[in-house]
């Protein structure tokens, strides 16, 4: 796997999706909240990762995503649109 930030972010987002689908988790987070976190700043994304309804595995991956958020906000926003209802 390539080690550039965008590739790592995509890998982490796909992992989050698989975890949430496999565990049938229903996240009490709206698409709007997710997108706002992506577009606002890395600090906002870190706050999003602290949402209490996220399972521990997803939180860990979320923190990994925020580490590489700056160059890939579009990927983050796409994740929100595709995976949150």
Instruction: Report the distance separating Cα 73 and Cα 83, nearest Å.
Output: 15
Instruction: State yes or no: pLDDT of 1 exceeds 50.
Output: no
Task: Read off the tokens for 22.
Answer: 């496999």
Name the token pair of 60.
């860990």
User: How far apart are the C-alpha atoms of 48 and 79, rounded to whole Å?
Assistant: 14
Q: In this structure, what token pair is assigned to residue 57?
A: 């595995």
Length of the chain: 85
What end-to-end distance do the CA atoms of the chain give, in Å? 30
21-66 confidence digits (pLDDT tens)? 555 555 567 788 777 777 777 777 778 888 888 788 888 878 877 7
Give the separation between CA 80 and CA 16, rounded to whole angstroms: 11
Residues 6+ positions from 12 with CB-CB distance below 8 Å: 61, 64, 65, 68
Residue 77 has pLDDT above 60, yes or no: yes
């Amino acid at each position: 796997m390539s080690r550039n930030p965008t590739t790592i972010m995509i890998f982490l987002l796909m992992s989050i999706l698989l975890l949430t689908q496999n565990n049938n988790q229903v996240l009490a987070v709206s698409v709007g909240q997710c997108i706002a976190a992506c577009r606002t700043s890395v600090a906002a994304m870190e706050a999003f990762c602290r949402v209490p309804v996220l399972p521990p595995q997803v939180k860990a991956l979320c923190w990994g995503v925020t580490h590489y958020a700056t160059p890939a906000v579009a990927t983050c926003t796409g994740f929100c649109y595709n995976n949150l209802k």
